């Protein structure tokens, strides 16, 4: 069986370090925020090259906290790519703002700068640049579109730990950025966890306060915040795993290269691209084919697990029917039937990757 993801196998490869880290947190009863969360914040900020990192409960909270810190007028419009996980839209609505969906680029699946230009109104407060699947958005093109307007850039880096745009690391390019450390992400905890990054010390301070009941000290609450903190066990696990992340990312990139090579020339399959200005971290390796469902079933029969990201564009979900953006001719609204995510990650051997490719080739030669 070829799993889509194998977190237990990864755990076995670093078991001693992880078990020791968990024990220390318990010994020191550093359960919430505390020394382990502070250490991880520092290490992660250094890893991506940013002034501030604020640990929080999960990637969705990170988005909500980031949006709140920007202090937009109520019911502002935030432009969100129509192909993403629901958290990208949900965080906007939950913050009292309006989601405006934007199409994605057919090559990179990230926000289309041309379509973005057509979505801007005098209520637009921000663009959510989701570095989807691990490929960065075309940030200069986004900046050109919003140039001279009072519009902020929020980077959703939930799938892009260590991705780069023209040598700049995702999470350091916009006004503020968010990360998820959901277990299945490229850097994943053993439960929920997230973080916010920014160069701006004012925004950083605001986020830290929002995430911790609006306080600086123990009981001096300057405003009402919320409770979204990282627990020490997750932080200690993340510190251990962060050390392995560069090697694990190289494995993802190597596997993507193998897929590219072994699936090259198949007419019915569109492979992902890595733009020459991008460093893709392949959270997902997503191909496109009109025979998606049959191919998925074929691979399933051969005990090869695949995924779909995402089965329905956000604009077509019941949750967003009210926006009436479902029947436009957006690429994101048409391509969702064709997307298939192949297994990728440090659990795969070269032979497994070759086997997946052979099965895909044999499916198309029938
Ligand atoms: C996973 C994910 C999130 C949400 O992160 P959680 O930690 O699960 O709350 C947000 N945006 C994108 C693009 C994601 O993939």
Q: pLDDT value at position 328?
A: 77
CA of 84 to the centre of ligand 1 (A): 9
pLDDT in tens, 284-333: 999 999 999 999 999 999 999 999 999 999 999 999 999 999 977 899 99
Q: What contacts 212, CB < 8 A, 6 or more positions away?
A: 33, 225, 227, 228, 229
Distance (angstroms) between ligand 1 centre and the Cα of 86 equals 8
pTM for the whole structure? 0.98
Give the pLDDT confidence score for residue 170 in this predicted structure: 98
Q: What is the pLDDT of residue 218?
A: 81
Closest protein CA for atom 2 of ligand 1: 158
Give the distance (Å) from ligand 1 centre to CA of residue 2: 25
204-246: pLDDT as tens digits: 999 999 999 999 888 889 999 999 999 999 999 999 999 999 9
Running along the chain, 366 residues long, what does each successive block of 10 average in pLDDT?
Answer: 97 98 97 95 98 98 98 98 97 98 98 98 98 98 97 98 98 98 98 98 98 89 96 98 98 98 96 98 98 98 98 97 91 97 98 98 94
Sign of the alpha-carbon dihedral angle for 58, 61, 63, 65: negative
> To test ligand 1's pocket by mutation, which of 57, 180, 190 has the most ligand atoms within 8 angstroms of CB?
180
DSSP reduced 3-state for 52: strand
Residue 141 to residue 204: CA distance in whole angstroms: 26
Place of tokens 């109520």: 74
């Amino acid at each position: 069986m070829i799993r889509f993801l194998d977190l237990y196998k990864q755990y076995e490869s670093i078991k001693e370090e992880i078990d020791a880290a968990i024990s220390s947190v318990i010994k020191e009863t550093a359960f919430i925020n505390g020394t382990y969360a502070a250490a991880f914040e520092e290490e992660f900020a250094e890893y991506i090259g940013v002034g501030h990192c604020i640990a929080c409960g999960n990637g969705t909270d990170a988005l909500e906290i980031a949006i709140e810190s920007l202090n937009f007028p109520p019911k502002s419009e935030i432009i969100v790519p129509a192909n993403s996980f629901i958290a990208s839209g949900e965080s906007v609505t939950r913050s009292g703002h309006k989601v405006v969906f934007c199409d994605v680029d057919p090559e990179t699946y990230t926000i289309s700068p041309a379509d973005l230009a057509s979505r801007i109104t005098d209520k637009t407060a921000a663009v959510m640049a989701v570095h989807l699947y691990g490929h960065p958005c075309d940030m200069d093109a986004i900046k050109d579109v919003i140039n001279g307007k009072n519009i902020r850039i929020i980077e959703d880096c939930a799938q892009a730990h260590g991705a780069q745009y023209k040598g700049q690391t995702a999470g350091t390019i916009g006004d503020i950025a968010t990360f998820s450390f959901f277990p299945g992400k490229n850097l994943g905890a053993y439960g929920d966890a997230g973080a916010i990054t920014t160069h701006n010390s004012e925004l950083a301070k605001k986020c830290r306060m929002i995430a911790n009941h609006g306080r600086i000290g123990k009981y001096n609450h300057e405003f009402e915040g919320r409770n979204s903190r990282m627990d020490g066990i997750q932080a200690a696990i993340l510190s251990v795993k962060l050390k392995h992340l560069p090697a694990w990312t190289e494995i993802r990139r190597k596997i993507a290269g193998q897929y590219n090579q072994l699936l090259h020339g198949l007419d019915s399959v569109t492979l992902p691209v890595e733009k020459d200005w991008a460093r893709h971290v392949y959270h997902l390796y997503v191909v496109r084919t009109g025979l998606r469902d049959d191919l998925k079933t074929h691979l399933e029969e051969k005990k090869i697990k695949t995924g779909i990201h995402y089965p329905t564009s956000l604009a077509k979900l019941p949750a967003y029917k009210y926006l009436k953006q479902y029947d436009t001719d957006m690429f994101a609204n048409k391509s969702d039937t064709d997307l298939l995510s192949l297994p990728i990650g440090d659990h795969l051997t070269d032979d497994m990757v070759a086997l997946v490719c052979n099965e895909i080739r044999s499916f198309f030669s029938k």
